[in-house]
Amino acid sequence: MRIFCDQFLLIFSGFWGLTMGAFPSSVQIGGLFIRNTDQEYTAFRLAIFLHNTSPNATEAPFNLVPHVDNIETANSFAVTNAFCSQYSRGVFAIFGLYDKRSVHTLTSFCGALHISLITPSFPTEGESQFTLQLRPSIRGALLSLLDHYDWNKFVFLYDTDRGYAILQAIMEKAGQNSWQVSAICVENFDDAAYRRLLEDLDRRQEKKFVIDLEAERLTNMLEQIVSVGKHVKGYHYIMANLGFKDINLERFMHGGANVSGFQLVDFSNPMVIKLMQRWNKLDQREYPGSDSPPKYTSALTYDGVMVMAEAFRNLRRQKVDISRRGNAGDCLANPAAPWNQGIDMERTLKQVRLQGLTGNVQFDHYGRRVNYTMDVFELKSNGPRRMGYWTDSDKLVLIQNEALQSNESIMENRTVVVTTIMEGPYVMLKKNWELYEGNDQFEGYCVDLASEIAKHIGIKYKISIVPDGKYGARDPETKIWNGMVGELVYGKAEIAVAPLTITLVREEVIDFSKPFMSLGISIMIKKPQKSKPGVFSFLDPLAYEIWMCIVFAYIGVSVVLFLVSRFSPYEWHTEEPEEGTDGPPSDQPPNEFGIFNSLWFSLGAFMQQGCDISPR
Note the pLDDT of residue 228: 83
Over pLDDT 70: what percentage of the chain? Answer: 88
Residue 512 falls inside a structural domain: no
Structure confidence at residue 587 as a pLDDT band (50, 70, 90): low
Structure confidence at residue 589 as a pLDDT band (50, 70, 90): low
H/E stretch holding 272 reads helix 270-280
- Identity at 107, one-letter amino acid code: T
Residue 518 falls inside a structural domain: no
> pLDDT digit string (tens) for 264-274?
999 999 999 99
Q: Which residues contact 1 (CB under 8 A, 6 or more apart)?
A: none
Note the pLDDT of residue 254: 76
- Identity at 244, one-letter amino acid code: F
Number of domains in the chain: 4
Q: Do 347 and 413 share a domain, yes or no?
A: no
- Please give the Cα distance from 580 to 323 (Å, whole number): 165
The backbone region for 84, taken as left when phi is positive above 0, alpha when psi lies in -120 to 50, beta otherwise, is alpha
Whether the predicted pLDDT of 373 surpasses 80: yes
Nearest-CA neighbor of 315 among 342, 294, 289, 282?
342
The alpha carbon of 117 is separated from its chain's Cα centroid by a whole number of angstroms, namely: 34
Residue 400, Cβ neighbours under 10 Å: how many? 7
Q: Do 394 and 426 share a domain, yes or no?
A: no
- Provide the angle, in degrees to the nearest 10, between the axes of the packed helices 296-317 and 38-53: 30
Nearest-CA neighbor of 371 among 380, 358, 383?
358
Note the pLDDT of residue 336: 72
Whether the predicted pLDDT of 161 surpasses 70: no
Q: Do 301 and 152 share a domain, yes or no?
A: no
Choosing from 369, 392, 421, the residue where a domain stops is 369
Residue 525 falls inside a structural domain: no
Whether the predicted pLDDT of 516 surpasses 70: yes
Check residues 370 and 613 and name the one with the higher pLDDT: 370
Q: What angle do CA 223, 225, 227 make, to 5 degrees?
A: 70
Residue 615 falls inside a structural domain: no
Work out the average pLDDT over 330-340. Answer: 76
Alpha-carbon distance values, 438 to 415, 421, 427, 492 (Å): 12, 15, 14, 17
- Provide the angle, in degrees to the nearest 10, between the axes of the packed helices 191-203 and 215-227: 60
Residue 591: Cβ-neighbour burial (10 angstroms; 0-12, 13-18, 19+): middle
Structure confidence at residue 302 as a pLDDT band (50, 70, 90): very high
> pLDDT digit string (tens) for 517-531?
776 667 777 787 777
Work out the average pLDDT over 558-565. Answer: 87
592 half-sphere exposure, CB direction, 13 A CA radius: 13
Q: Are 43 and 306 in contact (CB under 8 A)?
A: no
Structure confidence at residue 18 as a pLDDT band (50, 70, 90): very low
Q: Do 385 and 248 share a domain, yes or no?
A: yes
- Please give the Cα distance from 240 to 431 (Å, whole number): 56
Note the pLDDT of residue 411: 52
Q: Do 126 and 63 share a domain, yes or no?
A: yes
Choosing from 313, 344, 369, the residue where a domain stops is 369
Residue 319: Cβ-neighbour burial (10 angstroms; 0-12, 13-18, 19+): exposed
Note the pLDDT of residue 584: 60
Residue 485 falls inside a structural domain: yes
Q: List strand residue ranges (DSSP E) for 244-326, in order.
A: 258-263
Whether the predicted pLDDT of 594 surpasses 90: no
Q: Do 302 and 343 share a domain, yes or no?
A: yes
Whether the predicted pLDDT of 403 surpasses 50: no
Work out the average pLDDT over 290-308. Answer: 93
Q: How do strand 428-429 and strand 383-391 relate by DSSP bridges?
A: unpaired
Any bridge partners for residue 523, and if so which?
none
Per DSSP, 454 falls in state: H
> pLDDT digit string (tens) for 87-105?
888 889 999 998 888 888 8
Over pLDDT 90: what percentage of the chain? Answer: 25
Nearest-CA neighbor of 499 among 521, 474, 520, 516?
516
> pLDDT digit string (tens) for 193-234?
888 898 888 888 888 999 998 878 888 889 888 888 888 878
Nearest-CA neighbor of 143 among 237, 218, 238?
238
Work out the average pLDDT over 427-450. Answer: 88
Q: Do 365 and 295 share a domain, yes or no?
A: yes
- Please give the Cα distance from 205 to 214 (Å, whole number): 26
Return the CATH number at 26: 3.40.50.2300
Work out the average pLDDT over 19-37. Answer: 77
**Where does 114-231 have alpha helices with state H?**
139-149, 165-177, 191-203, 215-227
Q: Which residues contact 608 (CB under 8 A, 6 or more apart)?
A: none
Check residues 567 and 125 and name the one with the higher pLDDT: 567
Any bridge partners for residue 363, and if so which?
369
Q: What is the mean pLDDT of the chain?
A: 83
Whether the predicted pLDDT of 146 surpasses 50: yes
Q: Which residues contact 421 (CB under 8 A, 6 or more apart)?
A: 427, 465, 466, 469, 470, 471, 483, 484, 498
Q: List strand residue ranges (DSSP E) for 225-293, in order.
A: 236-239, 258-263
Whether the predicted pLDDT of 49 surpasses 80: yes
- Asked whether the CA dihedral 426, 430, 433, 435 is positive or negative, the reply is negative
Residue 381, Cβ neighbours under 10 Å: how many? 13
> pLDDT digit string (tens) for 178-198?
899 999 988 888 888 888 898
Note the pLDDT of residue 585: 58
Whether the predicted pLDDT of 162 surpasses 70: no
Note the pLDDT of residue 586: 57
Q: Are 363 and 352 in contact (CB under 8 A)?
A: yes
Residue 520 falls inside a structural domain: no
> pLDDT digit string (tens) for 415-428?
888 999 998 888 99
Q: Are 611 and 600 in contact (CB under 8 A)?
A: yes
Whether the predicted pLDDT of 5 surpasses 60: no
Q: Do 97 and 156 share a domain, yes or no?
A: no
Q: Do 174 and 125 share a domain, yes or no?
A: no
Note the pLDDT of residue 517: 74
Work out the average pLDDT over 445-451. Answer: 90
Work out the average pLDDT over 589-608. Answer: 80
Residue 616 falls inside a structural domain: no
Most confident of 106-120, 490-504, 574-588: 106-120
Whether the predicted pLDDT of 299 surpasses 90: yes
**Where does 22-118 have alpha helices with state H?**
38-53, 76-88, 103-113
Q: Do 250 and 388 share a domain, yes or no?
A: yes
Domain that holds residue 421: 408-507
Q: Do 91 and 113 share a domain, yes or no?
A: yes
Any bridge partners for residue 243, and if so which?
263
175-178: Cβ within 8 A, 24+ apart: 177/152, 178/152
- Please give the Cα distance from 137 to 49 (Å, whole number): 29
Note the pLDDT of residue 404: 45
Residue 524 falls inside a structural domain: no
Check residues 615 and 326 and name the one with the higher pLDDT: 615
Return the CATH number at 422: 3.40.190.10
Work out the average pLDDT over 588-602. Answer: 77
Note the pLDDT of residue 355: 93
Q: Do 344 and 450 share a domain, yes or no?
A: no
Residue 612: Cβ-neighbour burial (10 angstroms; 0-12, 13-18, 19+): exposed
> pLDDT digit string (tens) for 452-485?
888 888 888 888 999 888 998 888 877 778 899 8
